[in-house]
Copies of this chain bind each other. A is one copy, B any other.
Amino acid sequence: MTPSVRILLCDDHAVVRAGLLALLGGEPDIDVVGEAGSGEEAVALAAQLTPDVVLMDLQLGSGIDGVEATRRIATAGAGAVNVLVLTTYDTDADITRAIEAGATGYLLKAERPEELFAAIRAAAQGRTTLSPPVASRVMARMRSPRPTLTERELDILGQLSQGLGNRDIARALFISEATVKTHLGRIYEKLDVDTRAGAVSVAKEQRLLP
């Protein structure tokens, strides 16, 4: 018979971890070998325990976030550790970042538990599983590539969401006001808004900022 799949849980909510632990306890071929409540802990435990799959939440209260933890785990040494993202959000930004960071799969917590079990078994063999809504978004993005904000534009957007004026943004980033305005114009285009307030609103909703 096939050996059990060894799992490391990473979620900052103790109740959720306990729930997953109890849930996965019902599957004989799935063994939870560790729990992490932060990204740092997950990276350390992944290196130490070398589980088959890390079940990773993206938003982890403090410290490094799930994307960064995923990146470190996925790119570490042997690379035999597969990261399966299990999270609430299905925004383009999150999905894109997680995949770029090397996630093996991306599941939503809204998924049925059976799908989770199946995805875990698939991930253990390096096979990818995406929740239907996630897959849809990925396909949609392939078909009509939506404009992505550049690094610099995200910098401006970050300052903008602090409520700073153009002059202060310019000073904070060591550029001229004219440049700030140029970037803002492009940001408005890409986010399909025409005011700073609208840009901040979209940025927060799409979780474009950390």
Give chain A's interface residues, CB within 8 Å of chain B. Answer: 12-16, 18-23, 25-26, 61, 86, 88, 107-113, 116, 160-165, 193-201, 204-205
Contact = CB atoms under 8 A, between A and B. Distances in A.
A20 B108 CA distance: 16
A201 B109 contact: no
23 contacts: A13-B109, A13-B110, A14-B112, A15-B20, A15-B86, A15-B112, A15-B113, A15-B116, A18-B19, A18-B113, A22-B22, A61-B110, A161-B198, A161-B200, A162-B198, A163-B193, A163-B194, A196-B196, A197-B197, A197-B199, A200-B204, A204-B204, A204-B205
A16 B161 contact: no
Given A162-B198, A198-B162, A204-B201, A22 B26 contact: yes
Copy count, this protein chain: 2
Contacts of A113: 14-15, 18
Q: Which of A13, A61, A88, A197 has its CB near the most chain B CB atoms (within 10 A)? A: A197
A38 to B, nearest CB: 11
B205 A13 contact: no
A110 B198 CA distance: 32
Given A15-B109, A197-B197, 19 more contacts: A14-B109, A15-B20, A15-B86, A15-B110, A15-B113, A16-B19, A16-B109, A19-B22, A22-B23, A22-B26, A160-B197, A161-B200, A163-B193, A163-B195, A163-B199, A164-B197, A196-B197, A200-B204, A204-B204
